[in-house]
Amino acid sequence: AVLPTAYEESAIDLYLTTRKKIGQWLKGQMLLSLVIGLLTFIGLYFLDVKYALLLALLAGVFELIPFVGPVFSGGIAVLIALSTSFNLALYVLILFVIIQQLENNLLVPVVMKYTTNLNPAAILISILIGGTVFGFAGLILAVPASVLIQGVIEKWASAKKRKKGLGL
């Protein structure tokens, strides 16, 4: 056994809790991708941009890549719109900025709060620290690591309360 028997049950419980929360986080990411793809399609369709559906699918998929994904998908959409007219490219750029502001200030905090039960500020801080310390991999793994840390802290606090006789 890797762990002493006394810690085995706690470790398994922590693993199961973390796995569940990371699954919830992934569901949240998928929901965000779907919403961003849908908003992008609606906007590009009404702006009459060529390949609106393809660009919206690209925006939804690239949404899974923190920070740079939306920039890439927006850049591609702007370049395609630029092949039609400069004004259309400008409108597409404005559309992507509005969608990103809506996502960052409303959608991400709400969706992640309800899917992972992590504070939105904790999510932002974890992404910033993860990206700064570990680069691109840190951006990807920041939220799952935060979920694990939250689980460890919750288990520790719960055990401490039980020892003091403060209930569960």
- Domain parsing of the chain, residue ranges: 5-113
Alpha helices, H only, 47-119 = 52-62, 68-82, 86-102, 108-116
Tell me how far apart the terminal alpha carbons of the chain are, to the nearest angstrom: 28
DSSP state, 106? Answer: I
pLDDT tens digits for the chain (168 residues)?
577 887 788 788 888 888 888 888 889 889 999 999 999 999 999 999 999 999 999 999 999 887 789 999 999 999 999 999 999 999 999 999 999 999 988 898 788 888 877 777 888 888 889 889 998 888 888 888 888 888 888 888 887 887 777 655
Q: What is the pLDDT of residue 82?
A: 97
Q: What is the pLDDT of residue 83?
A: 96
Nearest to 122 by CA among 100, 158, 157, 150: 150
What is the pTM for the complete model shown? 0.78
Q: Are 96 and 74 in contact (CB under 8 A)?
A: yes
